[in-house]
Amino acid sequence: MRRARDAQHHEDRQYHGFFAEYYDVLHGTYDADIPFYLDLARKHGGPILELGSGSGRLLVPLAEAGHEVTGLDASEDMLKRCANRLLTQPQWVRDRVRLEHGDMLAFSLPRRFSLVLAACNTILHCVSTDQLLALFERARAHMAPDGLFVVDFNIPNVKKMLESDGVEEVFRVTHPEAGTELVCTYRAEYDFIRQLETIYMHLQEFDRDRLLRAATNTTQRAFYFPREVALALRSSGFRTVRTWTGYRHGRLVESTRDIVYICQRSDEPRS
């Protein structure tokens, strides 16, 4: 495993400190997309660049499958969690990984990649059209001539968003290592004009009735619809070669809740 740094401009406080740990506890074992990406990597080959690689949930299985993988993330704490995860792997797996601390909207790496991944809602961290286009431009600049760029994200469930707008919820989960109880008080508010979700979180850790630590956080996410993402991809010089419902290779229907775009560079002039 090799480690490098780059300038950091686009941060998200949800992935620092206590919140990075909570995110990893909550999502670190999610694996519904892993067979899809392993199959794609097997067919297309590496090297692979994962944007927003976090704690290595997807990166490590790709390296275990024999691929060279570079993970880029703006959160030092998530990269540290990824490095710790890699310590449990054999040396030959660690040798296939390079971790880069940097901004996915403004990074520059010295190599080009056969696969560039913006997996599992990564694009929702781009809270403006300019940021989304910047991410796509940087992805394109780092693709090999025959490379693929893969974007997957959830399609907004407007009915559910309207029902939950401003409603406070409490989530409880047991810390898998410490055995303590993590309590997250969560509220999301939606701005349908700017297509932004503002998330308010208060996180606590308890050992029985004793409060061990607490932290509060406010972050924003965008929500995007398929047609606008497709247009942004085209405007950024991409041609969509496959569009699937999630990781099941299915066609889009009215009830579709997640979508995958697989793209190549386009020879057409950019708009």
In DSSP notation, 146-214 reads EEEEEEEEEPP-HHHHHHHTT-EEEEEEE-TTT-PEEEEEEEEEEETTTTEEEEEEEEEEEETTEEEEE
For position 3, what pLDDT does the model report?
Answer: 47
Q: What is the mean pLDDT of residues 141-167?
A: 95
Q: Would you give the DSSP letter of residue 266?
A: -
For position 251, what pLDDT does the model report?
Answer: 60
For position 83, what pLDDT does the model report?
Answer: 93
Query: What are the tens digits of pLDDT across the range 179-233?
Result: 899 999 999 999 999 999 999 999 898 999 899 989 899 999 999 999 999 999 9
Q: What is the mean pLDDT of residues 42-54?
A: 93
Query: What are the tens digits of pLDDT across the range 50-105?
Result: 999 988 999 999 999 999 999 999 999 889 989 999 999 999 999 999 999 999 99
Residue 108 structure tokens: 């520059």
For position 255, what pLDDT does the model report?
Answer: 56
**Residue-wise burial string across 65-81, b where 16 or more C-beta atoms lie within 10 A, e elsewhere:** bebbbbbbbbbebbbeb
Query: Per-domain residue ranges for the chain?
Result: 2-155+225-265, 158-222
9: Cα separation from own chain's centroid: 17
To the nearest 10°, report the CA torsion of 30, 126, 191, 201.
50
Q: Rounded to the nearest 5 degrees, what angle is found at the Cα of 267, between the Cα atoms of 265 and 270?
A: 85
For position 245, what pLDDT does the model report?
Answer: 78
Q: Which residue has the higher pLDDT, 211 or 2?
A: 211
Q: Which residue has the higher pLDDT, 111 or 4?
A: 111
- DSSP symbols for 72-98: EES-HHHHHHHHHHHTTS-HHHHTTEE
Which CATH number describes the domain made up of 2-155+225-265? 3.40.50.150
Q: Name, in order, each residue with C-beta under 8 angstroms of 114's C-beta and a sequence gap of 6 or more.
A: 44, 45, 46, 47, 48, 144, 146, 147, 148
For position 24, what pLDDT does the model report?
Answer: 76
**Measured between alpha carbons, how far is 76 from 12 in angstroms, rounded to an integer?**
11
For position 10, what pLDDT does the model report?
Answer: 46
Query: What are the tens digits of pLDDT across the range 94-151?
Result: 999 999 999 999 999 999 999 999 998 999 999 999 999 999 999 999 999 999 999 9
Q: Would you give the DSSP letter of residue 123?
A: G
pTM above 0.85, yes or no: yes
Instruction: Indicate the pLDDT class of residue 12, thresholds 50, 70 and 90.
Output: low
Per the DSSP assignment, residues forming a β-bridge with 133 are none
Instruction: Indicate the pLDDT class of residue 8, thresholds 50, 70 and 90.
Output: very low
Residue tagged 């991409």 (tokens): 238
For position 20, what pLDDT does the model report?
Answer: 80
Instruction: Indicate the pLDDT class of residue 7, thresholds 50, 70 and 90.
Output: very low
